[in-house]
Amino acid sequence: MARIAVIGAGTGAMAAAARLAVAGHRVTVYERTETFGGGVRRLERDGFGFDTGPGLLRLPAVYRDLFVKTGKEPLESCVRLTQVDPASRHLFPDGTSVALPNASRAGVVEALDTALGAGAGERWSDLINRARDVWDATRRPLLEEPLWQDWQVLGRDPYPAVRRRGLFGRGKRPDTLATVARRELRDPRLVALLESHALAHGFDPVSAPPSATVLPYIEQTFGCWYAEGGMRALAEALYERCRARGVEFVFGAGVIGIPEKDGRAAGVELADGSVAEADQVVAGVDPSLPAQLLDGSAGSPWRGRALWQEGDKQPDPAARARVPGRLTVCLALRGARPGGVAHRTVIHSADRGEELGWLFDPEPTLQESLCEFPTVTVLRPDDRSLVPDAEHEAVTLSVTVPPHGPVDWRDDTTVRHSADRVVAIAEAAIPGLRERTLWREVRTPADTAAQTGAEGGSVPGPVLAGAGGQQLRPANTTRIPGLHLVGGWSHPGGGLAHAGMSGALVAGLIVEGADWRGSQ
């Protein structure tokens, strides 16, 4: 039985902790804040409840597998999951509206043909079929196996070229998601639909690889799921599963160093000056932090040494600094939630070029507030546990925004003006929204940074193949023996499902050894 110290209590870290405890190890989690869950938080006030992190779950099989393998109680015994239907409603600038059913290929085709015109559903379905090839080619190497040592091969994009009629046969492979949208969808509303999936995960469609088509494929194939009580309920169930398996949590315990013994990571040094010895260390933090922790340990032999060897996949500081964050506006409304409204509505930007330029400018200047036409996502869960009574409604609005830095998200005027703009746009989905509002609270990337420690409050997206490997994350192993990385900033990237996969990979590497290549 090994002693294992886990830095951080995010979902990926807890997923690893639960699996390691079941394997017989003694696991202690050290969390610098006073609660667990990382970015999966809940705001509670006056009987209202709001998710301030992820609002929906894709690939629930990841957590079903985790709960089956860490105890007798399946996931559904601990969390009530329901499919959201329709999966989403989309409002376009020209006034078109379309509701897409959950996990129904034929239903999506019919809905798109009805709303956008004959042939729209077929073009979208053909694209999703090609995205299935991406999923089949990358599911195992990107999600179920540790990052390959020759990770460069994953830089080749698996999205197939479109076969064209005539003398030229198969066409040229597209080089970006925007190219895919322009060539294969044509209708600007379909283009916006595809690109909104990338934008929601913090990817720029103009530079994201064609393999990003796997994002709508995952949602359309495996569905969107909601946990009763909000997605925080999933983090709570995972925390309780860890405790039931003997994982110890120490909150308010900031880690300032990783000591060394016999050439290995040997525990954690805490802010109060104490040292907790361990045989293995799992760091559920931004990969830039463990290097600082190694340098920070008194007498560290690793001072100034990199976490990775030459040729390993390493973080790109310049690209890392441009990863977007999320602005969330929580609204307590008077009046009952109307029947038949969609759980999620996406209000598409009236000026996509302006929005993308504002978000992904490679040399951003200081900006004072939100762009004029952001894409706004409206979440209206049909969940009585989130409201004081049936005569009120809890609504969450969210926007992908630049991290703290290009925009000063600590400035009250900036935050107020941005929230005003988001609420005004959201009235396209909820008429009379401002008149119904009792109060609102806003969460910005500055708040995310304080909760998670992520620089600028950036929110990591999942890994993608292609683009020369630019959308891959560092491996879960490091050149420091006994030190592993877990969570959204390491392989296989961000999001609830991917964090759970990261935990499974780290547990497998520790239990089975560095040569382990994933569950068979």
**43 in a structural domain:** no
Number of C-beta neighbours around residue 481 at 10 A: 14
As averages over each run of 10 residues, the pLDDT of the chain (520 residues) reads 95 98 97 95 96 95 96 92 96 97 94 97 96 96 92 91 58 86 94 96 95 96 95 97 97 92 90 94 86 65 64 75 92 96 97 91 65 95 96 98 91 94 97 97 96 92 93 91 94 96 97 81
**384 in a structural domain:** yes
Q: What is the pLDDT of residue 310?
A: 72
Number of C-beta neighbours around residue 365 at 10 A: 6
Same domain, 301 and 385: no
Q: What is the pLDDT of residue 72?
A: 80
Same domain, 323 and 449: yes
Same domain, 446 and 323: yes
270: helix, coil or strand?
A: strand
Same domain, 408 and 329: yes
In the DSSP assignment, the letter for residue 166 is S
192: helix, coil or strand?
A: helix
d(C-alpha 6, C-alpha 338), whole Å:
45
The amino acid present at 305, given as its one-letter code, is R
d(C-alpha 507, C-alpha 513), whole Å:
9
Same domain, 331 and 409: yes
Same domain, 166 and 278: no
Same domain, 342 and 251: no
**Rg of the Cα atoms in the chain:** 23
Same domain, 440 and 336: yes
d(C-alpha 200, C-alpha 400), whole Å:
6
Question: Which residues sit opposite 440 in a β-bridge?
Answer: 331
Same domain, 74 and 112: no
**517 in a structural domain:** no
Domain end point (choices 219, 241, 264): 219
C-alpha pair distances (Å), 295 with each of 260, 292, 304: 11, 5, 6
Same domain, 68 and 181: no
CB-based burial of residue 362 (10 Å sphere; 0-12 exposed, 13-18 middle, 19+ buried)? exposed
Same domain, 191 and 308: no
Number of C-beta neighbours around residue 144 at 10 A: 16
CATH number at residue 278: 3.50.50.60
Q: What is the pLDDT of residue 106?
A: 93
Q: Tally helices (H) and strands (E) across the chain.
A: 16, 21
Q: Which residues, 6 or more positions from 412, have their beta carbon under 8 angstroms from its beta carbon?
A: none
In the DSSP assignment, the letter for residue 503 is H
Number of C-beta neighbours around residue 96 at 10 A: 14
The verdict on whether omega for the bond into residue 160 sits within 30 degrees of 0, i.e. cis, is no
| Angle formed at CA 28 by CA 274 and CA 476, multiple of 5 degrees | 105
**204 in a structural domain:** yes
In the DSSP assignment, the letter for residue 405 is T
**96 in a structural domain:** no
Number of independent structural domains in the chain: 3
d(C-alpha 171, C-alpha 154), whole Å:
22
Number of C-beta neighbours around residue 334 at 10 A: 11
d(C-alpha 68, C-alpha 111), whole Å:
37
Q: What is the pLDDT of residue 261?
A: 86
Q: Which residues, 6 or more positions from 318, have their beta carbon under 8 angstroms from its beta carbon?
A: none
The amino acid present at 58, given as its one-letter code, is R
Structure-token pair, residue 378:
């409206």
Residue tagged 């860890």 (tokens): 242
177-184 helix and 120-139 helix, angle to the nearest 10 degrees: 150
Domain end point (choices 158, 185, 219): 219
Same domain, 371 and 483: no
d(C-alpha 282, C-alpha 273), whole Å:
20
Domain that residue 339 falls in? 225-229+319-454
Residue tagged 């698996």 (tokens): 158
d(C-alpha 292, C-alpha 486), whole Å:
17
Question: Which residues sit opposite 377 in a β-bridge?
Answer: 346, 398
**88 in a structural domain:** no
Q: Output the CA torsion 450→452→455→457 (10° steps).
A: -70
Q: Output the CA torsion 217→222→228→232 (10° steps).
A: -60
Domain end point (choices 405, 425, 454): 454
Q: What is the pTM assigned to this prediction?
A: 0.94
**459 in a structural domain:** no
82: nearest Cα among 241, 232, 223: 223
Q: Which residues, 6 or more positions from 13, have their beta carbon under 8 angstroms from its beta carbon?
A: 6, 7, 29, 38, 282, 284, 486, 487, 503
Q: Which residues, 6 or more positions from 346, have their beta carbon under 8 angstroms from its beta carbon?
A: 88, 89, 90, 91, 196, 375, 376, 377, 378
d(C-alpha 80, C-alpha 44), whole Å:
20
d(C-alpha 65, C-alpha 237), whole Å:
14
